[in-house]
A and B are shown apart, each in its own frame.
Chain A
């Protein structure tokens, strides 16, 4: 149930049917910010690597930051259609179209497109990584070498070895003072930030239980039908990347990371161990590697628990929200989807509107825009800004929960971080003609997790 204590003209109503308020990208940067960026001119150039829907959305957010000139200059993808569609959407966009300058010679198709797109930038510019996350460490390595600032979509890793590797790679970015944003946009939400402060100040008491849910129907490409297209096995897997662990970490990594991350944020800690349940039920002839339901129990160092439920079965109860319970009461971290969060605090553990202690009275700003406002401000003002470590930890903790479900074993964070199963060791060398790191068996099916039968790795 939702609250009714909204005063007329309150955020929700304006949010739902705003007739004239376009969420203008406003920044908190003082108008007098010094432009330390790029000696000869202060235009920030942007390259987009990975022209899917979210990558294109991220580029739009980037071009919507209004604290100085910014321009999209290069695009890269393995599918020409994606690239064309992105170019059309952005160059014809009525608000940012004028900031798009990507002639054909700066449009790159292929697995090496990231290098060519990055080579169009100068040190201090920004590259956006929005390909399936399996490629993230490869792309990031090159961006650091070239001295670029980076925005990378979540998750940033999908298995244990690349999580450890990413932390190592990032040391060079810290040394070079590169500004790196990670697409856990909820961290940039002002409402959640205030909630965090309130929880740290003890307003709900000692936090002993957190709950996170993303239970929806079938989502994105989590369920993958057999390949009846003329795409190669590799291309087909990339197109349906949520279905394959080497590319995306599957439904768990892609869908649950936000709710797991915001719960850990509010607890102000990462869990030390996890055990999970999960299974495949209505799979029909689907060829992906996902379970359709997951339940995870994470434990923090102080013994507090985080319970996570994920489900992609049609027709079942749906909930997409996160909660924190403390000795004094309940905090709603987020209510439905990611935005608006409608974070609030109750006395006691029921969402009883008479016991409401705090909520956010104004319209919430869009966190997908705020994460860009913050990153570009840091670049222009040359303030330290690197979200990779928390991005890796959120990714690793999420993967660890998935691994516990897929193996049927309890796993500690320490065990996970030293685990040696790298899903796609040759990912840096893939070309359009390569065989996929994941090969179908004689029946055209892919190896799936076998909890209890296969314990040392998530799939054979």
Chain B
């Protein structure tokens, strides 16, 4: 299946060459890959930038999202509203950058298949401090099957990973770049999806317009599509509605909103494996599941056809409409804040002992 190349997902070749020889820019005691546009200390300085994936031609495009306060949740008047979408509450979030697109297979496989290190070794390029760092981060066990289930790879969204896998990708990306990436919180995700709107979708309340903005059951022909093919939301984010539902950091807590009517940077730190939250709906969902405010919890059935026991900590064989995108907060949290909030999750996920 041939597709039109989307140059915006790739760096210009000249830049790619610089990246390939990034040791020129990175000193040994500094494990940050230099990307001038990624540097900002204030919200005003935040720019869109492309995060290069060293030793590949790939980059992850990031969009600045200003901090602010918004009404999280769904008004009772909204069609198809579920009880867990309320009560509406006032939420403040700090500024962050967010992936313009869902993470694609090409990007995901750099981590899961170590495409960067394979290529570096084939070309006899010495390891950078960042290469040393990513070496210590776990990667998924080799799958038994084509995890794209015949729907396409490359610029199609990566799917069927557990939240643990998505979190580990972020950990890898942070080590690989020297910048802190993570999954968005549920609040950050909804803030970015609404993009200043209060309606069911970021373009209004009319599901008949969904075809312009989203891949979903009625138009997807039973498969996901390459990222960025539909119109973006007002803040320039693509596929927030549909294509694949996206992991966020939170545990699914049905009455979470009522616990704090007014809160800053909320996060329901996960303490059980199920349910955790995906947002935005996917190619196999109906319009009501694509609404900005809808909340979906994961379940064990997402692993149903995994023929192995114990089932894998990396794969959700049946969650073929679930992927993720990354965020990077403007102010990187301290090690303590990461340990006690942003990176905190339980139970610990370990592969069966070798």
A residues near B, CB below 8 A? 1-4, 6, 8, 12-13, 15-19, 21-23, 53-54, 56-57, 59-60, 81, 85-86, 89-90, 93, 214-222, 229, 239, 282, 284, 314-315, 317-321, 335-339, 366, 368
Contact = CB atoms under 8 A, between A and B. Distances in A.
Interface of A is mostly: loop
A339 B318 CA distance: 11
Contact of A314 (B115, B222, B310): B115
Contacts of B150: 2, 318-321, 335-336
B149 interface: yes
A17 B305 contact: no
A56 B310 contact: yes
Nearest to B150: A336
B295 to A, nearest CB: 14
Contacts of B305: 337, 339, 366, 368
A12 B142 contact: no
A13 B222 CA distance: 9
A218 B142 CA distance: 6
27 contacts: A4-B221, A15-B318, A16-B284, A17-B302, A17-B319, A18-B304, A21-B301, A23-B304, A53-B309, A54-B308, A57-B308, A57-B309, A60-B309, A214-B146, A217-B109, A217-B143, A218-B113, A219-B144, A222-B142, A239-B354, A282-B122, A318-B146, A319-B150, A320-B145, A335-B150, A336-B149, A336-B151
Contacts of B285: 17
Contacts of B151: 2, 336
Contact of B146 (A15, A19, A320): A320
Interface in B128-167: 142-146, 148-151, 153
A75 to B, nearest CB: 13
Contacts of A18: 301, 304, 318
Contact of A6 (B146, B222, B310, B320): B222
Contacts, number: 125
Nearest to A3: B222
A53 B311 CA distance: 8
Interface centre among A4, A284, A317, A335 (most CB of B within 10 A): A4
Given A1-B221, A314-B109, A336-B149, A86 B284 contact: no
Given A57-B308, A336-B149, 20 more contacts: A1-B223, A2-B150, A2-B151, A4-B221, A4-B222, A15-B318, A16-B284, A17-B301, A22-B304, A85-B353, A86-B309, A93-B309, A216-B143, A216-B146, A217-B143, A318-B150, A321-B150, A335-B149, A335-B150, A336-B151
Nearest to B145: A337
A27 B222 CA distance: 30
A54 B306 CA distance: 10
Contacts of B353: 81, 85
Contacts of A318: 146, 148, 150, 153
Contacts of A2: 150-151, 221-223
A26 to B, nearest CB: 15
A19 B222 contact: no
B263 to A, nearest CB: 29
A368 B306 CA distance: 10
Nearest to A255: B144
Interface string B99-123: 0000000000100011100100110
Interface of B is mostly: loop
B321 interface: yes
A219 B222 contact: no
B307 interface: yes
B221 A337 contact: no
Contact of B221 (A3, A60, A219): A3
Nearest to A185: B307
B172 to A, nearest CB: 16
B217 interface: yes
Nearest to B301: A18
Nearest to B56: A315
Given A54-B308, A57-B309, A217 B113 contact: yes
A90 B318 contact: no
B284 A12 contact: yes
Contact of B113 (A19, A214, A315): A315
A95 to B, nearest CB: 11
Q: 10 closest A-B pairs (Cβ-Cβ)? A: A53-B308, A336-B150, A314-B113, A2-B222, A56-B309, A336-B149, A320-B146, A4-B221, A337-B145, A57-B307
Given A219-B144, A314-B115, A321-B150, A12 B309 contact: no
B352 interface: yes
A187 to B, nearest CB: 15
B223 A319 contact: no
B321 A16 contact: yes
B222 A315 contact: no
B84 to A, nearest CB: 14
A284 B318 contact: no
Given A6-B222, A23-B304, A89 B149 contact: no
A191 to B, nearest CB: 14
A321 B284 CA distance: 21
B308 A56 contact: yes
A284 to B, nearest CB: 7
B30 interface: no
Interface in B304-354: 304-305, 307-310, 318-321, 352-354
A430 B201 CA distance: 65
Nearest to A314: B113
Contacts of A221: 142
Contacts of A337: 145-146, 149, 305
B149 to A, nearest CB: 4
